[in-house]
């Protein structure tokens, strides 16, 4: 599997679309528009944060299971990022340390490479692609896609949450060691709006895929 990572508004879904079309593979998406917990979370992060993380964990395991069978199937968010998002919520006092510890233990247990079925499920990606964007680009993308519950004008506290999250993502990627990885500069290569930038990004990923012998 090729798995995308990056902060809110980085362009993960757009790059997932590009990669699946480019490779002729299947794409698997994060549950957002059909997520009944997400709008509640933005209304009250402290109340719904733990529930949201468990909802996402369950859905991401579904994506991992469904993506088996091809090294070039694409998932639009890594399961490993959710702990970072939840830790950021906790750092703002909107979740407890106990909730974070329980979630971390649950994630670790679910990611154990244990097979209870006739066919093993490979849970680690063949390649993780991290889209790095600046804080300004992140805010502009969030505003452009127009989801009301994500807009900082509706909740001033979201500004600090987004800023902290963006700052922590680079540290997260630096420490990530579960699989081969590649960073794409989403400011330099605006693959969402620029066809030439999209072609450049696909060429970078093609080279990494070839180096890893995935195609």
Q: What is the domain-level CATH number for residue 24? A: 3.40.50.300
Average pLDDT over residues 13-24: 96
In this predicted structure, what is the pLDDT of residue 113?
Answer: 60
Distance CA 96, CA 8 (A): 22
Enclosing domain of residue 174? 2-211
Q: Please tell me whether 16 is known to bind a ligand.
A: no
Q: Please tell me whether 171 is known to bind a ligand.
A: no
Which active-site residues does the annotation give? 76
Check whether 116 has a pLDDT greater than 60.
no
Distance CA 40, CA 138 (A): 22
Q: What is the mean pLDDT of the chain?
A: 90
Q: Please tell me whether 6 is known to bind a ligand.
A: yes
Return the closest-CA partner of residue 200 out of 18, 73, 71, 74: 18
Higher local confidence (pLDDT), 195 or 116: 195
Distance CA 22, CA 33 (A): 25
In this predicted structure, what is the pLDDT of residue 117?
Answer: 55
In this predicted structure, what is the pLDDT of residue 119?
Answer: 62
Alpha helices in the chain (DSSP H): 12-23, 38-43, 45-66, 81-91, 97-110, 135-145, 157-175, 195-211
* Percentage of the residues of the chain whose pLDDT score is greater than 70: 96
Q: Please tell me whether 102 is known to bind a ligand.
A: no
Check whether 208 has a pLDDT greater than 90.
yes
Q: Please tell me whether 37 is known to bind a ligand.
A: no
Range name among 96-105, 108-117, 118-127, 151-160 with the lowest pLDDT average: 108-117
With bands split at pLDDT 50, 70 and 90, how would you rate the model's confidence at 115?
Answer: low
Q: For residue range 50-95, what is the model confidence (pLDDT) as tens digits?
A: 999 999 999 999 999 999 888 899 999 999 898 998 998 899 888 9
Average pLDDT over residues 99-113: 89
When divided into structural domains, the chain yields a total of: 1
Return the closest-CA partner of residue 86 out of 49, 51, 37: 49
In this predicted structure, what is the pLDDT of residue 122?
Answer: 82
Q: Provide the whole-model pTM.
A: 0.89
Return the closest-CA partner of residue 130 out of 182, 177, 93, 180: 182
Q: Please tell me whether 147 is known to bind a ligand.
A: no
């Amino acid at each position: 599997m090729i798995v995308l990572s990056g902060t809110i508004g980085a362009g993960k879904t757009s790059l997932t679309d590009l990669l699946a079309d480019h490779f002729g593979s299947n794409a698997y998406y994060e549950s957002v528009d059909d997520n009944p917990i997400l709008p509640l979370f933005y209304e009250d992060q402290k109340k719904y944060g733990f529930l949201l993380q468990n909802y996402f964990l369950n859905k991401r395991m579904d994506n991992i299971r469904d993506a088996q069978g091809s090294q070039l199937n694409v998932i639009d968010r890594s399961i490993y990022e959710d702990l970072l998002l939840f830790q950021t919520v906790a750092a703002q006092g909107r979740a407890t340390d106990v909730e974070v510890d329980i979630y971390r233990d649950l994630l670790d247990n679910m990611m154990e490479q244990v097979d209870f079925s006739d066919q093993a499920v490979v849970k680690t990606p063949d390649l993780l692609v991290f889209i790095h964007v600046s804080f300004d680009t992140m805010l502009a993308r969030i505003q452009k896609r127009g989801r009301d519950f994500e807009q900082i004008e509706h909740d001033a506290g979201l500004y600090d949450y987004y800023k902290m999250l963006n700052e922590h993502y680079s540290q997260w990627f630096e420490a990530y060691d579960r699989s081969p990885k590649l960073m794409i500069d989403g400011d330099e290569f605006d693959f969402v709006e620029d066809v030439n930038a999209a072609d450049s990004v696909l060429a970078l990923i093609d080279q990494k895929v070839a180096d890893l012998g995935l195609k």
